[in-house]
Amino acid sequence: MQTIAFIFITWKSVLLGALLFLITFSISLAIVSVIMVKIPPDYFQKDRPRKLWADKPKAVRYLGMFGKNLLGVVLVVLGILMSVPGVPGQGILTILLGIMLLDFPGKQRLENRLVSRPQVLSTINKLRHKFGKPKLVLD
């Protein structure tokens, strides 16, 4: 004997889903926007120094690197999920943000490849312009 489960969709559940969609979309857009506005314009240039807390004790540096990489992995996964049609959020920008936090060989090339996409760079520079920040400088 087979059991069939029915899913009843009510107006209440549709409205709750729409509300959650709007909230998660707004939060992800706000976080990505703040960070894209705050990064220095030369962040994606090759000769920019990249040491995290170089003047701090080793334990603090390692803890900071672990936390930064963990957050980076979470953001990449969330960005991939947001890239799926029907899921709210800025998928590519969230993936870029996660990659910016990760430490791995070839990171800079991947970042530059993502940011140099015309649509991504244009979106970031328009956002930066709205907040009076200079455009990103790429190599």
- Tell me the pLDDT tens digit for each residue of 75-122: 889 888 887 776 666 777 788 888 888 888 888 888 888 888 899 899
Please return the burial class of 50, using the count of CB atoms within 10 Å of its CB with bins 0-12, 13-18 and 19+.
exposed
Give yes or no for residue 139 having a pLDDT over 80. no
Evaluate if residue 64 carries a pLDDT over 80: yes
Tokens of 75: 């953001």
pLDDT interval class at 128 (50, 70, 90): very high
Contacts of 134 (CB under 8 A, 6+ apart): 41, 128
Q: What is the structure's pLDDT at 88?
A: 63
The pLDDT, as a whole number, for residue 126 is 93
Alpha-carbon span 131 to 23, nearest angstrom: 23
